[in-house]
Structure 1
Amino acid sequence: MDNKIKTVSVIKRLVKLVKHLWMYYIGAIGGAVLGFITTLLIPATLIDLAWQGLDGHRPSLRTLLLLLILGISRGLFRYLEHYFGHYVAFKTLYELRCMVFSKLRRLAPTKLDQQDSGRLLKMIGEDIEAMEVFFAHTVPPVLTATIVTLLLSGYYVIVSPYIALTALLSYFILAIILPRFSSQRLQPLLAKQTKVRKAYISLFLDSLKGMKELLQFGQTKSRLSQLEKQSKTVNACEKEVASLQYFQSALSFLVIGLSIIVVAAIALHGVQQGTFSLSTATKVIVIFSTSFAPYLELSRLPLGFKRAMGASREVLTLLDEKEVARTGQAFDEKISSISLDKVGFSYSNREQMILENLSATFENHKIIGIMGESGVGKSTLMKLIMRWYDNTMGTIWINEKKISDLSARDIQKRIAYIPQIPQIFNQSIRDNLTLSNPDITDEMILEAAEKCRIKDIILSTEQGLDTVLNNEQKIFSAGELQRLELTRALLKKADCYIFDEPTSNLDSLNEASLLQVIREQCNGYVFLLSHRESTLACSDLIYKVDDKTLKLI
């Protein structure tokens, strides 16, 4: 994806999302800082006890009690750090999901129809989760490391300016130099990884949707080979990213090891020079050796941060997607006439025309067949009539009114669109048919189901209308699912019915049965879109979409 949003802008927008949760961030950062201080105080106290023991002093009960309190406090502060930090993260991810789903509803159907399903699934399933790294593992660690550095610097300066300089240099290398080095090398790898993952998910989804055709034409082995090849490409990208992470981790521990040696040498030299005591030297070496946790967390950040930024760009780009204008005159009339006058269409991101110079006046109360091979623009033409898209050229008239002047939502309420693949949700039969419309009663459902000759089949299921449909249990055949779709369309009481390749997955017997129900029960406009002559045989009129034009045959 083209990185249209700069990283700085992405960070600013993400920070705005958590402004109302700043109190929780204070809790997370406070817990982290206090937990870190506790972590340093425990070994420092033990060292004091050790030196007191060497001097012949027994540890006091107060000191032992202090160690116990420090140990318990360390666990408590760690819990608070993770609780508040992840509360902010998961709360924000929940809000982001709500924003994304709300945006998808507003984009549907026009913009959503043009979206890559693989990209959308990756965004919902992976990208939003990846953004957790920013909210839980970027903001708190950066602020924690900053506060900790200030505190440690004051302590090191008191002990030795040279130790302070060495410590700051090692922290700077771990927290800034190595992450920047790793980040620069990760950038192209993660871009490549994102690209191949989206391609793999899209190929996998296309394979599932076209499984019947793949089996029919004996292309399953070829498609499995493509999937395996794509999977190996994804794995190779993962391996490259992991290798870079291992290399950076090795460099980080090399820096830590060398810096500990340098601090130890400076401390021991100070003891020889009488600058400070052996007890102080031991303590500063131990404190320095145990102080790297915040900086190691930052040194491991580039991979997660880069992924979070890439994921954030995907999500923010979707949220910034321009929505189709829903304004227009209210339209609350029965659709009585539909006509096209030199209509043309091309997608906003393409120059090539999909349809060009289409003119026709469609007769009401007729079954109108729209013939054409896949991809010639049959579905696109219907989507113009439903105002999923706005035509680029010419005029579409509904009841002698320009469709562009009318409310898209009002027009779509009066049209029932029945897609090629039945849209069945993991809900009860009732909810699938009513789409949660409380005005539709069970009596209305069964009446419509009887018209579509599926009432007895519904009632024969285990729980009738309460039976839950899912992909694992094949309760209905392909033909029965199409009749469920038709039942749903009849319950809408539409003025216009659009059937997009309704019989492509049916045998000849089920095809004839479905077409007979359509002719008997669908009133008003009925558009049948198909490349099969047998499907269009019941049509009163047949138009053919060919070479971007529409012809009556």
Structure 2
Amino acid sequence: MHKENNIKLMWKMSKLVRPLAGYMVLAVILGVVGYLCAIYIPYFAALLITHIAIQAPDFPIHVFFILLLVFALMRGILHYGEQACNHYIAFRLLALLRDKVFKALRKLAPAKLDRHDSGDLIYLITGDIEALEVFYAHTISPILIALVTSIILLFQFYRMHILFFLIALAGYAFCALFIPFIIMKQGKKDGETSKAIFGEMSSYTLENLRNMQDILQYQIADERKLGMLKRSVEVNKAQEKLKRHEGKNASLQTMAVMSFSLLMLGVATTLYMQGEVSITSLIMTTVLMLSSFGPVLALSSLSNHLLLTMASARRVLALLEEAPQVEDINGKEDAVFDTIKVENISFAYDKERILDKVSHTFEKGKITGILGKSGSGKSTLLKLLMRFYEAQDGAIQVGERALDSINTNDLRDMQSYVTQDTIMFHDTIFNNVHIANLEASVSDVERACKKANIHDFIMSLPKEYETSVAELGSSLSAGERQRIALARAFLHQAPCILLDEPTSSLDVLNEAMILKSLKEQKDTTILLVTHRQATLRIADEILHIENGRVS
């Protein structure tokens, strides 16, 4: 989690606005002119009343009424234009941020992404990024608008009297700088805590939804309900703390406006009694002071919202700036698939050693069975060959090329990877298979499905290949999902297929049909991981792994 102060954080976020600088300038201009219209409505109204009271000669009353009407109309139009510009900027930037986040997730996967909680990630992608709308639509331009408007008003106060200028300067600084600084300093930790609790709540909710069958089966609904209630109470407590900061902010604002306005009235009255200013200046200065706090109060009111916004920004930037464990390789010479050589590789998750000095040569065009008990390191070996992870020691080569000298895209083209836990997209069966080769024809997809012994099942469905798959493939059995994963591998037509327990959920007949299809994949290098000896009857050689070592 980033520990940068809010100023540095806001500066980082503001730099993203550069491509939309023109819209930001327009929003600031519209906002400044709009606030000036709002401020000068009571100003000119007071001036009108004052001149009528003193019976000023040749005073054009109708002109003042026209000005007030124009200011009122323009205020609404300009405010609408300012908000339209700000929200256009915000929504464009939120789309840009989501794109950056998904690119970051792509780089982090799978080595770093495995350590992130999925529910928390979902909340970051949705809730945290959405919270940044407050910053882009309601923070950047209000800061600039408040600054420009205050400079214009301070200049007018200065022309009236230097003391008026100093009082106004102190009032604006107190509202725009001191109050937000105090509120954000006091509430920074509460904002970050609130975001963390919301992320945990999202994760817990997702966990309950995904495991609803087990909750019902083992009758633990009451326990899970208590867990949900506990987290709801924590969320409420966090929100209460933020609301207290919001109330403190509103109280300080009201006190500041009244105090500085009364101070302006007192000083103006004293100067009037000393003959330094006129009665008109006394009244106009006080009215102008009362009506001019709008821009700085709008800025001050953001402080409580910014507690959550800055917490969200820290979470988003932490993800965007997190270094991937495995960097993609680009710009190297094209590679051609050949024999895979593994020499003395070792690998550990944190401090848990999984593989220890493993060496083997996987001959091109041969089927190698990798046999071992659960947890022996079989699946980890395949992930290292895919370069999802990198070995801490040793080397892996494809032909004469080191694995980390091959372009990542080339490596993906060389390999098809099938795991026992197949994740399906919420899409049609056809599209779920077709992702393996977007240039494949309908007949190519059907041919791959026949090899995976899933075609007949698909054709028995009401919509055949256009049948929609439920979220995460829950409408299909584990065996059906595995066969679709195998169809993807066949459609990909890679020269190397890595299979991690590909038939663990299949019956004997389906397994036999699929093993037959694998055997018919001529000139294809196949690595078949399993813990069942019977599955390896098609293997040309068998590699035994026990406790992270080749035995």
1:44 paired residue number: 43
Deviation per CA, 1:448-481, whole angstroms, max 9, x where unpaired?
Answer: 2233333244344454434443439965444323
Q: Which amino acid aligns with 2:48?
A: L
The residue that corresponds to 1:177 in the other structure is 178
AA of the residue aligned to 2:29: G
CA contact (8 A) 2:30 2:79 kept: yes
Q: Which residue of 2 aligns with 1:326?
A: 329
Which residue pairs with 1:343 in the alignment? Answer: 345
Q: 1:385 to 1:72 in 2, by over 3 A?
A: same
Counterpart of 1:152 in structure 2 is: 153
Equivalent residue runs for 1:57-456 within 5 Å = 60-209=61-210, 221-273=222-274, 275-323=276-324, 324-327=327-330, 330-333=334-337, 337-346=339-348, 350-361=350-361, 365-366=366-367, 368-373=369-374, 377-399=377-399, 402-435=402-435, 437-456=437-456
AA of the residue aligned to 2:508: A
Note the residue ranges of structure 1 that are not aligned, 5 or more in a row. Answer: none
The change in CA–CA distance for 1:225 and 1:486 in structure 2 (over 3 A counts) is farther
Contact residue 368 and residue 528 of structure 2 kept, 8 A: yes
- Aligned equivalents of 2:412 and 2:390: distance in 1? 13
C-alpha separation between the residues in 1 aligned to 2:229 and 2:513? 44
Do the aligned residues in 1 keep the contact of 2:34 with 2:78 (CA within 8 Å)? yes
Q: Assess if the C-alpha contact under 8 Å between 1:178 and 1:299 holds in 2.
A: yes
Q: In the TM superposition, what is the alpha-carbon distance from 1:208 to its structure 2 partner?
A: 4.8
Task: Specify the SS of the correspondent of 1:326.
Answer: coil
Match of 1:22 in 2: 21
Are the aligned partners of 1:369 and 1:536 in contact in 2 as well (CA < 8 Å)?
Answer: no
| Identity across the alignment (%) | 28
1 CA distance for matches of 2:544 and 2:122?
35
Q: Is the alpha carbon distance of 1:339 and 1:225 closer, same or farther for their aligned partners in structure 2, counting shifts above 3 Å?
A: farther
Q: How far apart, CA to CA, are the structure 2 residues paired with 1:248 and 1:6?
A: 20
Q: Secondary structure at the match of 1:368?
A: strand
**Residues 243 and 12 from structure 1, CA distance in 2 versus in 1: closer, same or farther, beyond 3 angstroms?**
closer
The equivalent residue for 1:520 is: 516
Moved more, 289-298 or 194-203: 194-203
Taking structure 1 as the reference length, the TM-score comes to 0.85
1 CA distance for matches of 2:226 and 2:86? 44
What amino acid sits opposite 1:518 in the alignment?
I
Distance (whole Å) between structure 2 residues aligned to residue 481 and residue 413 of structure 1? 22
Amino acid paired to 1:33: V
Give the Å deviation of 1:387. 1.5
The alpha-carbon deviation at position 194 of structure 1 amounts to: 3.3
Counterpart residue type for residue 396 of structure 2:
I
Q: Which is further off, 171-180 or 230-239?
A: 230-239
The alignment of Structure 1 onto Structure 2 pairs a total of residues equal to 538
1:274-332 CA deviation, whole Å, 9 max, x = no partner?
55454443333332222222111222233343444443344344333445141555332
1:538 aligns with 2:535: yes
Separation of aligned partners in 1, 2:382 and 2:221: 32
Q: Give the conservation status (yes or no) of the 8 Å contact 2:436–2:492.
A: no
- Tell me the alpha carbon deviations over residues 489-523 of structure 1, each in whole angstroms, 9 at most, x when there is no partner: 2111234433445567x5xxx44354234312224
The letter for the 2-side match of 1:342 is: N
CA shift at 1:33, angstroms? 0.9
Secondary structure, counterpart of 2:549 in structure 1: strand
RMSD of aligned Cα (Å): 3.4
Separation of aligned partners in 2, 1:536 and 1:163: 91
CA deviation digits over 1:106-126, x for unaligned, max 9? 444454445443443233213
- What CA deviation, in whole Å up to 9, does each residue of 1:126-167 have, x standing for no partner? 333333333333321222222222222222234444443332
TM-score normalised to the size of structure 2?
A: 0.85
1: CA distance between counterparts of 2:358 and 2:394?
8
Between stretches 171-180 and 513-522, larger displacement belongs to 513-522
Equivalent residues of 2:377, 2:545 under 8 A apart: yes
Give the direction of change, closer, same or farther, for the CA distance of 1:145–1:401 in structure 2 (3 Å limit): closer
Shift of the 515–241 alpha-carbon distance from structure 1 to 2, 3 Å rule, reads farther
C-alpha spacing 1:377/1:469, structure 2 compared with 1 (3 Å): same
Q: Secondary structure at the match of 1:157?
A: helix
Any idea what SS the aligned residue of 2:535 has? coil
Give the conservation status (yes or no) of the 8 Å contact 2:423–2:472. Answer: no
Match of 2:31 in 1: 32
Which structure 2 residue ranges, 5 or more long, are not aligned? none
Give yes or no for contact 2:424–2:473 (8 Å, CA) kept in 1. Answer: no
The equivalences for 1:466-505 within 5 A come to 466-471=466-471, 476-500=476-500, 502=502
Alpha-carbon distance between aligned partners in 2 of 1:129 and 1:100, rounded to the nearest angstrom? 13
